[in-house]
């Protein structure tokens, strides 16, 4: 039966005010597609609540009227999780107005924020108190903490600080129907019953809307050393990672794999991007170590900074052992930014390269080299000339193993999507990995998730979903 939208619109206006309800097609458009513009959907309107009470009233209305609700933060997710389907019973809830920092507690070293706070703003608020909120990803200027929590985002510094789940002490959540669950806690220890907080982290908006969170803060590093190394191969890069961890006392904060294909692609679209070293081999590694110890900020008697010395010694020994072919270490902030520039430009350059199959896999490090080579052989067999853009957070065993169309354009590229998907699924299973390391499931990976997750786990997930959202109105068609 066609939906009579008028009473719903009127009720929403009573909750948030007309100014906070987006109804015009051209204004709604950016909320109805994802960052990569791969998915498209419909929504009665886009509603922008200002606080938890308004979210609660909207979810009460949604349950009464059988409206599906799609929570949306910064809309930078890469799996179509924040995009509605094409149905007419959808309502996108944008958290962009819920952007207040509720409290910075320097004694507990926590920050309590509303779900719509942009990640970069949280980082700046922590910085203003000389503390660090370490979650960091390329979308930091746009993504919101509610989205980060709901995808359990990873990013560049997981190797040292963990992913979003590990950075979170408490959450506040509104359930379908409007009930508010106050799980905001500053406690590191709390063994009172089931851990409800962790249910909502990584749930991609399918169990409720996160409205606020209490996050952990850390001492700010006093010194950082950043290096770029041309590697013999992936196994050499893994050995280098372990050596860096040992030499720095476990203080590697980033360890990124950069294949030549990616570096060439970035320089193709951004030719002014400087190369950190002159000869780029098949694989390079971007390494960053940091320390909060006061002495790390003081130069040695010969003028060298201690962390730079540590990294230089590790790299020199690795060169002697044939693991590293060439390397450079940044000696100031400009050089550090130069080293990071290629990595930061990678996602944009990939989009410019044309059609692509994207993945976000994690593989035990002992299998990473074999996985990389097997996947390259298999992908090239499916489509000769396909470009292998397998890069990313090697330190966490997580690569974005993306396949870009050959230089000679392939209008039929997406006809091979399922073949690439099957190949990836088979190899991830063979090497005991995961099909989603940090981006989530959304709509994009739902089929492969449902066909690979073990049936007992799926059954438990479905029971939880049915208990919290019996009418299946919370972000339907995503995850389970």
Ligand X SMILES: Cc1cc2nc3c(=O)[nH]c(=O)nc-3n(C[C@H](O)[C@H](O)[C@H](O)COP(=O)(O)OP(=O)(O)OC[C@H]3O[C@@H](n4cnc5c(N)ncnc54)[C@H](O)[C@@H]3O)c2cc1C
Q: Which residues contribute to the site for ligand X (CB under 6 A)?
A: 35, 70-78, 81-82, 95, 115, 137-139, 143-144, 146-148, 150-151, 153-155, 204-205, 209-210, 347, 438-439, 442, 475, 478
Token pair, residue 166, equals 């590990």
Distance in Å, CB of 154 to ligand X, minimum: 4
Task: Report in angstroms how near the CB of residue 29 gets to ligand X at its nearest.
Answer: 15
Report the C-alpha dihedral over residues 363, 369, 373, 376, rounded to 10 degrees.
50
CB of 340 to ligand X, least distance (A): 13
Q: CA 242: distance to chain centroid?
A: 24
Closest CB to ligand X among 84 and 276? 84
Residue 130 has what DSSP assignment? T
Distance in Å, CB of 128 to ligand X, minimum: 22
Closest approach of ligand X to the CB of residue 206, in Å: 8
Q: Find the residue with minimal CB distance to ligand X.
A: 147
- For 193-244, give the DSSP string: SS-HHHHHTTSTTSS-EEEEEEEE-EEPPSEEEEEEEEES-HHHHHHHHHHH
**Spatial distance between the Cα atoms of 161 and 140, rounded to a whole number of angstroms:** 16
Nearest to 78 by CA among 27, 134, 139: 139
Residue 467 C-beta: closest distance to ligand X, Å: 17
Which of residues 172 and 405 has its CB atom nearest to ligand X in the complex?
172
154 or 221: CB nearest ligand X: 154
Measured from the CB atom, is 74 or 170 closer to ligand X?
A: 74
Shortest reach from residue 231's CB to ligand X, in Å: 21
Whole-number Cα distances in Å, 215 to 122, 188, 301:
10, 11, 40
Quickly list DSSP for 10-70.
HHHHHHH-GGGEE-SHHHHGGGSB-TTS--B---S-EE--SSHHHHHHHHHHHHHHT-EEE
User: Judged by CB, which is closer to ligand X: 202, or 314?
Assistant: 202
CA distance from start to end of the chain = 26
Place of tokens 């991007």: 273
Choice between 221 and 442, CB closer to ligand X: 442
Q: How far is the CB of 73 from ligand X (least distance, A)?
A: 3
Nearer to ligand X, 345 or 427 (CB): 345
> Which residue's CB is nearer to ligand X, number 138 or number 281?
138
């Amino acid at each position: 039966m066609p939906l009579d939208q008028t009473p719903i619109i009127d009720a929403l206006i009573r909750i948030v005010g007309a100014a906070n309800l987006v109804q015009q097609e051209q204004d709604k458009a950016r909320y109805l597609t994802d960052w990569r513009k791969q998915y498209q959907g419909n929504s009665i309107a886009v509603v922008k609540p200002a606080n938890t009470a308004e979210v609660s009233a909207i979810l009460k209305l949604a349950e009464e009227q059988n409206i599906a609700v799609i929570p949306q933060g910064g809309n930078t997710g890469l799996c179509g999780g924040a995009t509605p389907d094409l149905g007419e019973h959808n309502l996108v809830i944008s958290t962009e107005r819920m952007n207040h920092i509720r409290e910075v507690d320097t004694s507990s070293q926590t920050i309590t924020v509303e779900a719509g706070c942009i990640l970069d703003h949280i980082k700046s608020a922590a910085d203003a108190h000389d503390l660090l909120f370490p979650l960091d990803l390329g979308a930091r200027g746009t993504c919101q903490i509610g989205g980060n929590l709901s995808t359990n985002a990873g990013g560049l510094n997981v190797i040292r600080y963990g992913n979003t789940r590990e950075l979170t002490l408490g959450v506040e959540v509104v359930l379908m129907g409007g009930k508010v669950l106050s799980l905001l806690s500053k406690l590191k220890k709390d063994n009172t019953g089931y851990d409800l907080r962790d249910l909502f982290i990584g749930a991609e908006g399918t169990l409720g809307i996160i409205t606020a969170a209490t996050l952990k803060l850390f001492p700010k590093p006093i010194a950082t050393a950043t290096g770029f190394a041309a590697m013999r191969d992936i196994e050499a890069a893994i050995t280098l990672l372990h050596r860096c961890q040992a030499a720095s006392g476990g203080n590697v904060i980033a360890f990124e794999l950069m294949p030549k294909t990616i570096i060439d692609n970035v320089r193709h679209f951004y030719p002014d991007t400087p190369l950190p070293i002159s000869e780029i081999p098949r694989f390079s590694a971007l390494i960053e170590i940091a320390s909060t110890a006061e002495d790390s900020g003081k130069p040695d008697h010969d003028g060298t900074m201690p962390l730079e010395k540590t990294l230089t010694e590790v790299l020199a020994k690795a060169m002697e052992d044939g693991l590293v072919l060439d390397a450079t270490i940044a000696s100031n902030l400009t050089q550090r930014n130069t080293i990071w520039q290629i990595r930061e430009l990678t996602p944009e350059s990939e989009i410019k390269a044309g059609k692509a199959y994207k993945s976000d896999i994690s593989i035990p490090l002992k299998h990473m080299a074999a996985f990389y080579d097997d996947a390259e052989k298999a992908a090239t067999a499916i489509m000769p000339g396909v470009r292998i853009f397998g890069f990313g957070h090697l330190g966490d065993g997580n690569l974005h193993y993306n396949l870009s169309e050959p230089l000679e354009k392939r209008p039929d590229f997406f006809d091979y999507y399922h073949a690439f998907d099957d190949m990836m699924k088979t190899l991830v299973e063979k090497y005991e990995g995961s099909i989603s390391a940090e981006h989530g499931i959304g709509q994009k990976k739902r089929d492969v998730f449902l066909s690979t997750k073990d049936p007992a786990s799926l059954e438990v997930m479905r029971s939880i979903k049915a208990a919290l959202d019996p009418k299946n109105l919370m972000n339907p068609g995503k995850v389970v």
